[in-house]
C-alpha cells in the first residue's frame, strides 16, 4: 500500500468516526427536543451539587496522575528511566488528544511517539504505552465481570423473560447482514486476485507484512519476557488500576446521588467499567456517543433510572473527562512534552501525520 493510499484510508476512517459522532449527537438532540424532555434534563442538572461535581473532577484528575505513575512503573520494568513528571505530561497530552482532537492520530499513538524522544529504547518505550492500555482495559473488564457476577448475574436474563420473548436474538436479527458483509469481502478479494497486477500487489503486501511481523514478534518476545520476569511490578500496576477505577466510579456515584439518581453503587461499578471497555473500540472520536449511549441505556434498562437522568449522568462524565484533559493543551502549546535537549536540534519536531 502506498503512502498516499494509506493516508486516504486513514482520512476515510476518520470521516466515518466523525459521522458516528454527528449521527449520535443529532439523534440525542431530536430525542431530547421531543415530549418536553429539555425541562426534565435541565431539572436534573439543577439538582447537581457543584461542590460534589468539583470533588468528582478532582478525584478524576488525581486518578489520571496515578495512571501516569502506572505507565512510569511499566517503563521502569523495561529499564527505561524518564522523570515521573515527563510521564505525567505525556499522559495528559494523550488524554487531550483522545478527548478533543478529531484526528487520525489517537492519544496513545501520540504518547508512544513522543516517549521515544526521551529514550534510546524506542520500541520498548512505545510498547509500554500499549501494554499500559491493555492492562487498563483488562482490569476494567475484570472489575465489571466481578461486580456483575456478585450482584447482577441472572438479573438481565430474568428481566428479558419477564418482558416476554423477543423476535430472535441479536445474531438471528443480523445474520443476513453479516452474510452480506462476508460476501462483499469475498467478492472484493476475488476481484483483487483475478488479475496479475492485483496478485502482484497482494503478494508484495504479504511479504512486507510477514517481514514486519517477524521483526515485531522478535522484539515483542524480548519485552514480554522482561515483563514476566518482574511479576511484582505487574501486580502493582493491576492494583493501582483497580484502586483508581473504583475511586473514580465511587465519585460519580456520589455525584449521581446529588442528581436524585436512585441507582445503587453496584450498578455504577458494572455499567461504567463495561462502557469504558466498549468505548475503547475505534468507532467514534474518544468513545463519544458510544459511551454516553450505552451508559444511559444500561441505567435505564437495568437500574430503572429515568432516561433524562441517565443521559445527564453520562454527559457529566464526558464533561469531567474534557475538563480534566485541558492541561494537555497547555502542555502541548508550551512544548513541555519534549525533552529539553530537543530544543537545541536544528530540525523541528512534529508528530506523525
pLDDT digit string, tens, across residues 197-213: 777 777 777 777 677 66
- Can you say how many angstroms the Cα of residue 302 is from the centroid of all Cα atoms in its chain? 24
Q: For residue range 40-53, what is the model confidence (pLDDT) as tens digits?
A: 899 999 999 999 99
Determine, yes or no, domain membership for 6.
no
Say if residue 173's pLDDT is above 70: no
Report if residue 2 sits inside a domain: no
pLDDT of residue 178: 57
| C-alpha to C-alpha distance for 232 and 210, rounded to whole angstroms | 35
Distance CA 105, CA 337 (A): 16
Q: Which cell numbers hold the place of 296? A: 444511559
Residue whose entry in the numeric block shows the C-alpha cell 502482484: 200
- Banded pLDDT at 165 (limits 50, 70, 90): very low
> For residue 274, what are the domain limits?
45-158+228-344
Domain annotation covers residue 18? no
Query: What is the per-residue pLDDT for 164?
Result: 43
Contact 324, 88 (CB under 8 A): no
Q: Residues of 246-258 as b/e, b for ≥16 C-beta within 10 angstroms?
A: bebbebbbbbbee
Q: Return the C-alpha cell found at 298.
A: 444500561
With beta carbons less than 8 A apart as the criterion, state whether 260 and 47 touch.
Answer: yes
Cα–Cα distance between 90 and 75 in angstroms, integer?
A: 13
How many domains is the chain partitioned into structurally? Answer: 1
Q: Is 69 exposed, middle or buried (0-12, 13-18, 19+ CB in 10 A)?
A: middle
1 found inside a domain: no
Cα(183)–Cα(128) distance, integer angstroms:
38
Burial class from Cβ neighbours inside 10 Å (0-12, 13-18, 19+) for residue 210 reads exposed
In tens, the pLDDT along 10-37 reads 677 778 888 888 888 999 888 888 777 8
| Contacts of 160 by beta carbon, 8 Å cutoff, 6+ apart | 166
Quick check: helix, strand or coil at residue 350? coil
10 Å CB burial of residue 298 (0-12, 13-18, 19+) is buried
How confident is the model over 89-133, as pLDDT tens digits? 888 988 898 888 765 446 677 777 777 776 777 777 777 777 777
Which is higher by pLDDT, 176 or 283?
283
Q: Which of 298, 236, 254, 242 is nearest to 272 (CA)?
A: 298
The answer to whether residue 217 sits within a structural domain is no
Residue 164 lies in a domain: no
Residue 219 lies in a domain: no
> Please, which residues have CB within 8 angstroms of residue 201's CB and are 6 or more apart in sequence?
192
Instruction: Give the model's pLDDT for residue 325.
Output: 93
pLDDT of residue 344: 36
Q: Mean pLDDT throughout 253-275?
A: 93
In angstroms, the CA 115 to CA 104 distance is 19
Contact 64, 73 (CB under 8 A): no
Section 286-301 average pLDDT: 91
Helices (H), the chain: 3-33, 37-47, 50-77, 84-100, 107-115, 122-147, 155-163, 170-193, 196-228, 231-258, 265-279, 290-303, 307-334
Determine the pLDDT at residue 37. Answer: 87
Q: How far is 27 from 299, CA to CA, in rounded Å? A: 19
Residue 259 lies in a domain: yes
Q: What is the largest CA-CA distance in the chain?
A: 70
Amino acid at each position: 500500500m502506498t503512502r498516499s493510499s494509506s493516508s486516504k484510508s486513514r482520512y476515510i476512517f476518520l470521516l466515518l468516526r466523525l459521522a458516528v459522532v454527528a449521527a449520535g449527537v443529532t439523534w440525542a438532540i431530536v430525542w431530547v427536543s421531543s415530549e418536553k424532555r429539555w425541562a426534565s434534563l435541565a431539572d436534573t442538572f439543577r439538582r447537581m451539587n457543584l461542590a460534589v461535581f468539583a470533588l468528582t473532577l478532582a478525584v478524576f484528575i488525581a486518578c489520571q496522575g496515578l495512571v501516569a505513575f502506572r505507565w512510569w512503573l511499566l517503563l521502569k520494568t523495561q529499564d527505561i528511566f524518564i522523570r515521573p513528571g515527563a510521564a505525567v505530561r505525556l499522559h495528559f497530552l494523550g488524554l487531550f488528544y483522545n478527548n478533543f482532537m478529531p484526528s487520525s492520530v489517537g492519544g496513545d499513538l501520540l504518547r508512544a511517539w513522543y516517549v521515544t524522544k526521551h529514550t534510546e529504547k524506542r520500541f520498548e518505550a512505545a510498547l509500554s504505552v500499549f501494554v499500559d492500555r491493555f492492562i487498563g482495559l483488562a482490569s476494567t473488564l475484570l472489575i465489571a465481570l466481578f461486580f456483575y457476577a456478585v450482584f447482577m448475574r441472572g438479573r438481565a436474563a430474568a428481566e428479558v423473560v419477564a418482558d416476554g420473548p423477543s423476535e430472535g436474538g441479536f445474531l438471528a436479527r443480523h445474520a443476513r447482514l453479516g452474510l452480506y458483509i462476508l460476501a462483499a469481502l469475498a467478492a472484493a478479494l476475488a476481484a483483487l486476485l483475478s488479475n496479475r497486477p492485483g496478485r502482484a500487489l497482494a503478494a508484495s503486501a504479504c511479504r512486507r507484512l510477514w517481514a514486519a511481523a517477524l521483526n515485531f514478534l522478535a522484539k515483542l518476545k524480548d519485552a514480554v519476557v522482561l515483563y514476566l520476569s518482574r511479576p511484582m511490578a505487574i501486580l502493582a500496576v493491576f492494583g493501582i488500576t483497580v484502586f483508581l477505577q473504583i475511586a473514580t466510579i465511587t465519585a460519580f456515584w456520589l455525584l449521581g446521588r446529588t442528581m436524585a439518581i436512585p441507582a445503587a453503587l453496584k450498578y455504577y461499578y458494572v455499567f461504567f467499567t463495561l462502557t469504558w471497555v466498549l468505548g475503547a473500540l475505534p468507532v467514534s472520536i474518544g468513545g463519544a456517543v458510544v459511551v454516553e449511549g450505552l451508559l444511559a441505556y444500561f441505567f435505564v434498562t437495568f437500574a430503572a433510572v429515568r432516561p433524562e437522568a441517565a443521559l445527564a449522568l453520562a454527559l457529566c462524565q464526558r464533561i469531567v473527562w474534557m475538563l480534566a484533559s485541558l492541561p494537555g493543551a497547555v502542555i502541548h502549546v508550551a512544548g513541555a512534552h519534549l525533552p529539553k535537549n530537543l530544543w537545541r536540534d536544528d530540525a523541528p519536531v512534529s508528530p506523525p501525520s
